[in-house]
Structure 1
């Protein structure tokens, strides 16, 4: 189902009328319910009327672009006023992938409530009334870092190395660093947490490989360094050491990690295949991110498994003193 409304010009604004379209509203409503998001809370947080007014009539989208465009994809993203959600532009092919696989996507999320896939909560388009084919695709997702704790570091990891570093001139608060910047650092958790995360990552990537046939997704990590002002740590931790704001406490209690899989709508089409072929001409296979969904999922899981450590692991282990730099 698709809902479309006409947004006429008014109040002396010299802009052409726009069409605002909401896709599969009932399905996305059910997805929001999985995460305990009510219609009232969602609409109050998004402030869709205010958002559209600013976007169409006030020319404020340019300021959002400056705030949120950090990746090669050219996507623009910004947070709602209460930081509960992130609004992001995506490409038409990504939107088509999501809509085509929406039934399987809903079924997977509803039966895997511990999934690390950062869920899509809504999909919209905005277009000119007389140029409906020229659409701006907009999706809504939860903000992974909805916490009162500071996010001291952010990393976007793919398990590849080619061009996987953030230039020094681009490094500023809120801009993710990448695989080469993360280097040989590890996340130290309890054996139970490591087992859960490894199994969940494998489940999620298997779903993406078999049903979405996508690749080039990322493991997003937000790191909070625990201080005496840190909030959200329960007095009695459960086995998975989760905090009240959705984080995971490290084994030694010195870090809280906020984790999620993002950007998982990129299909392995002819363009990606050629891109990978050209890049592999000049470098090793493991360095390139443009590989088949199957190979990407295997490499992604293997890479992250090396990053999830626990005391007593047979891997080379970092002592608690060393973890202060993790």
Structure 2
């Protein structure tokens, strides 16, 4: 039903379409009222007042042929066969034989859902500029709220006709904050859509983590990784999001992993949370390289010969320390320490520094290193080409049709991609209700202190490559696995390990966040060739939340 103004809160496609209609008629006051309705939906008095203010415009929208009258018009989609015919049987089949078939169906649904969410949020937030009336609570509202998009079988002006018989829904969490993060990381909307929403379904890569049971996909160009998330991980990410945004705005060279979006797909009764991350550029067409997952611990930190990513002990044996100029080493260590302060303040542990080494001379110094170089150069995940012979889409736009004179509000149809994603059904009810289902205002992102568009040149940035002192090696760094909070379970693990190892638990991976951060700071300074600082023994004792001095005893 779309008879009441409150319907825009249940389907953000309507919210986007109504916003475009109001912008076309130049009603800035109504756009502000719609913003208030969305943001204050849980405040009955304010929501009702905003709805009353919008009643006249809503009735005009409902009856206008350039308003709700074209909402279900799918004519622009008709020339485009989506998806390719040679994979239709996979997503339509009732006899699913293996997980790969399920991943195809999920990838197609996520592709469409990501497109709808990204385009609609662009339309909504592009007309919202001044968020000052919302005051100091604005950032909190951004992180707490979400938008829901219904994807119908018959299609609409914002989504293609589905190739299965059940509608689905996608929820987009904290879209404004993630859009700001993408901007600060130099990721344009065009790049995001081109990588994740293509109509040609080319080269989707599937992978899984055998320990956790999680699945992930890389985008066809390997720029982005889509990975499943548990409810706890999603909640942790939302709690950190504002501080992450501010940190990357302040220091674009931050080693923190780049989270680009958080979504929940509801399909055939299953809920699947997933997030999108920007891959370290080094993973794209590196050729021969060595990769290490470094935590700063030594207990059980040696990779097996069949594993293509080394661990702490492998690094010590095969590399020892990085060949960095002292000034660059000091800069790297300072950036890393500031990043870890953020993680410490959010009680995060068990993260790693993904370190990739590309040697233009002879990278093969040991048998184990040679084996890992060979493995990391090979394609470790099955690559499936889904080229369906779809002709290039003509220039043109999706949705918001029938609005003469309005500029094209959406990316060209050619930016419609099948994305890398991960499958995992969250714990029943674990996420529902934990994140309020309200929505948030938009507005301009805080000004970045160092423009992302003027990214620091290669040779100076951990994400794009730092040259060794001799110039023959390039190092890439990224902090990964940032969503493991020090909750009751890891606390119990730590104390249990203390007993089993006769007080040696601090050599393990899972230790209290302050100790974890301090240990990794010492390790990273060491591999950068720097001496131990006097303050290394207690580098985070000044944490303001009060837990730093007591967490080890809890």
Is 1:87 the counterpart of 2:237 in the alignment? Answer: no
Is 1:38 the counterpart of 2:184 in the alignment? Answer: no
- Which of 203, 220, 225 does residue 359 from structure 2 map onto? 225
Q: Does the 8 Å contact 2:291/2:355 carry over to 1?
A: yes
Q: Does the 8 Å contact 1:193/1:239 carry over to 2?
A: no
- Which of 21, 27, 32 does residue 171 from structure 2 map onto? 21
Aligned to 1:209: 344
- Which of 116, 122, 129 does residue 261 from structure 2 map onto? 122
Residues 151-170 of structure 1: pairs in structure 2 closer than 5 A: 151-169=288-306
Residues 177-326 of structure 1: pairs in structure 2 closer than 5 A: 177-184=310-317, 185-210=320-345, 212-227=346-361, 241-242=459-460, 246-283=464-501, 284-309=504-529
Deviation by residue 1:135-174 (Cα, 9 ceiling, x = unmatched): 32211111112544325111101011222232233x2xxx
Q: Does the 8 Å contact 1:151/1:222 carry over to 2?
A: no
Is 1:2 the counterpart of 2:138 in the alignment? Answer: no
Deviation by residue 1:47-86 (Cα, 9 ceiling, x = unmatched): 17777xx9xxxxx99x71xx3426x444322211111111
- Shift of residue 286, structure 1, vs aligned partner: 3.2
- Shift of residue 102, structure 1, vs aligned partner: 2.0
Aligned to 2:55: none
Paired residues, number? 284
Deviation by residue 1:69-108 (Cα, 9 ceiling, x = unmatched): 26x4443222111111111112210110111232222222
Q: Does the 8 Å contact 2:253/2:463 carry over to 1?
A: no
- Which of 149, 152, 158 does residue 286 from structure 2 map onto? 149
Quick one: structure 1 residues 4 and 285, their matched pair in 2 at CA, closer, same or farther if it must change by over 3 Å?
A: same
SS at the partner of 1:194?
helix
Higher strand share: 1
Greater RCO, 1 or 2 (C-alpha within 8 Å, sep 6+): 2
- Which of 140, 148, 158 does residue 276 from structure 2 map onto? 140
Q: Aligned equivalents of 2:185 and 2:222: distance in 1?
A: 16
Q: Does the 8 Å contact 1:158/1:179 carry over to 2?
A: yes
Q: Does the 8 Å contact 2:170/2:265 carry over to 1?
A: yes
With 12-21 and 267-276 compared, the bigger mean Cα shift is at: 12-21
TM-score (norm 2): 0.47
SS at the partner of 1:120?
strand
Quick one: structure 1 residues 49 and 123, their matched pair in 2 at CA, closer, same or farther if it must change by over 3 Å?
A: farther
- Shift of residue 269, structure 1, vs aligned partner: 0.3
Aligned to 2:214: 75
Q: Does the 8 Å contact 1:160/1:287 carry over to 2?
A: yes
With 108-117 and 141-150 compared, the bigger mean Cα shift is at: 141-150
- Shift of residue 254, structure 1, vs aligned partner: 2.4
Q: Aligned equivalents of 1:298 and 1:245: distance in 2?
A: 23
Q: Aligned equivalents of 1:105 and 1:243: distance in 2?
A: 18
- Which of 224, 243, 247 does residue 108 from structure 1 map onto? 247
Aligned to 1:318: none
Deviation by residue 1:224-244 (Cα, 9 ceiling, x = unmatched): 11159xxxxxxxxx9994379
Quick one: structure 1 residues 15 and 296, their matched pair in 2 at CA, closer, same or farther if it must change by over 3 Å?
A: farther
Unaligned runs of 5+ in 2: 1-144, 155-160, 363-455, 533-554
Q: Aligned equivalents of 2:171 and 2:193: distance in 1?
A: 16
Quick one: structure 1 residues 124 and 12, their matched pair in 2 at CA, closer, same or farther if it must change by over 3 Å?
A: closer
Q: Does the 8 Å contact 2:255/2:462 carry over to 1?
A: no
- Which of 282, 288, 309 does residue 176 from structure 1 map onto? 309
- Shift of residue 251, structure 1, vs aligned partner: 1.3
- Shift of residue 15, structure 1, vs aligned partner: 6.3
- Shift of residue 297, structure 1, vs aligned partner: 0.3
With 181-190 and 13-22 compared, the bigger mean Cα shift is at: 13-22
Q: Which has the larger radius of gyration?
A: 2
Q: Does the 8 Å contact 2:351/2:481 carry over to 1?
A: yes
Q: Does the 8 Å contact 1:206/1:297 carry over to 2?
A: yes
